[in-house]
Amino acid sequence: MMTIDSTSIDAWADDLRGAVALHLRQQLIPAEGEGSVIFPPTYAMGDKREGAPYAVDRITEGLIVQIDSVGSQANRMEPLFRQSPEGMPSNPLADLVPQIEIVISVDYSVSILDVGHRLGDALVRSSAMREESELAFADFAERGDAMRIAKLAPTSLVFGAWDSRGSGAKVPRIVQSVIRARRIDALRRSAQYNPAIDYARADVFSDEDKQKAEGNTKSPMAQRGFVHVPAVDTHGGVIAHGPIERDVTINLVALRQLSSPNDGKKLRRYIMGLALVAATEPQDGFLRQGCLLTPNPDAPGVWILVERNGRRVEVALDETVAHAYARAVAKDFGVAEPRRVSFKKELAKADVSPKDDKKKKT
């Protein structure tokens, strides 16, 4: 296994002929043990052919289901850098990135690290930092200069962003992660809701109203819990007979494409540090109700350096190495001070209003 230090990590960020990626394949198991039922995310247009509203595909070895998507994984990793709420222990990773709060009202604010589309989100466009974000995306789209984005919202470079409503700039993901389970069987389940009392007997509703409403999920009485309601043959999770795997990739090619005339080397190394922290930091495995996963201690994941010629080399990469490197390069790069910016209702309204240049045809 290759031992790494700051010099070797610098090379990953700087050497245009260097390795193309770092990859981790990590096996996970349910908290209840292997072979237990877990619940994937549901989608309105899930795969009805396989009997469940999950993202299921049939491959040669059987069925494979998505347990957590690339976008969802990014949204779980990004808050790792968020400042802890008041009264909670401080987060040592918060010093690595600018802490920006968008203030909606006196008692309501949102961290930019919780905004789903990052710098390209509608909330950012509807805030006092709109002009800054527009300039940052324009620099990237027109000149390939990523410095403004790095100074303003560096996680937009780590996890990707798309200014789809503005410059059209697409910032590729440097860190990508996804969880899938292999050789699965989808299960069904049924349940029965019973009201606490007989509301017809209590003379709240008539027996006729009760009979019409029972079993009719569209009835207001059923929806509000006043009658018996069965839930029959609904999705009931999956059992994985194959591995549950988390694949994490750090795209070193995309990283090295980040540039700026104003010290691009410091920029790339800074984003490299954030990417390493995001990729190596242990995750909270509570993905949703019925899906609590932990790493499999009997099959520990190993980081692989994928070289340009395809050779794969095991490297000793972990969160300790990542943290030390990230702190050093963040200090050298210079992280902006925390700040609060105001939400602008008028900007949000203007954002969905017809533009002056889109006049009606006559």
Question: Is there a single domain that holds both residue 100 and residue 124?
Answer: yes
Question: Is there a single domain that holds both residue 176 and residue 256?
Answer: yes
Query: Per-residue pLDDT tens for 271-315?
Result: 999 999 999 999 899 999 999 999 999 999 999 999 999 999 999
Question: Is there a single domain that holds both residue 67 and residue 170?
Answer: yes
The tens-digit pLDDT sequence of the chain (362 residues) is 899 999 999 999 999 999 999 999 999 999 999 999 999 999 875 555 555 689 999 999 899 999 999 999 999 999 999 998 877 888 999 999 999 999 999 999 999 999 988 999 999 999 999 999 999 999 999 999 999 999 999 999 999 999 988 888 999 999 999 999 999 999 988 889 999 999 999 999 999 999 999 988 899 999 999 999 888 888 899 999 999 999 999 999 999 999 999 899 999 999 999 999 999 999 899 999 999 999 999 999 999 999 999 999 999 999 999 999 999 999 999 999 999 999 999 999 988 876 654 444 44
Tokens of 277: 């922290």
Q: Total structural domains in the chain?
A: 2
Tell me if 361 is assigned to some domain.
no
Tell me if 31 is assigned to some domain.
yes
Tokens of 4: 């790494």
Residue 217 and residue 110 in contact, taking contact as beta carbons nearer than 8 Å: no
Cα 166 off chain centre by: 22
Distance between CA atoms of residues 74 and 279, nearest Å: 10
Cβ neighbours of residue 127 closer than 8 Å, sequence gap 6 or more = 102, 341, 342, 343, 344, 347
Give the number of other Cβ atoms within 10 Å of residue 267's Cβ: 24
User: What is the reported pTM?
Assistant: 0.89
Query: Could you tell me which of 284, 252, 281 has the C-alpha nearest to residue 269?
Result: 252
Helices (H), 237-361: 252-256, 264-280, 319-333, 345-351
Query: Per-residue pLDDT tens for 78-122?
Result: 999 999 887 788 899 999 999 999 999 999 999 999 998 899 999
Tell me if 305 is assigned to some domain.
yes
Question: Is there a single domain that holds both residue 177 and residue 268?
Answer: yes
Query: What is the predicted pLDDT for the residue at 268?
Result: 97
Q: Are strands 303-306 and 312-315 parallel, antiparallel or unpaired?
A: antiparallel
Residue 68 and residue 81 in contact, taking contact as beta carbons nearer than 8 Å: no
Tell me if 351 is assigned to some domain.
no
Tell me if 356 is assigned to some domain.
no
Question: Is there a single domain that holds both residue 288 and residue 208?
Answer: no
Tell me if 212 is assigned to some domain.
yes
The range of the structural domain enclosing residue 203 comes to: 184-237
Distance between CA atoms of residues 138 and 145, nearest Å: 9
Torsional sign, CA 260, 265, 268, 274: negative
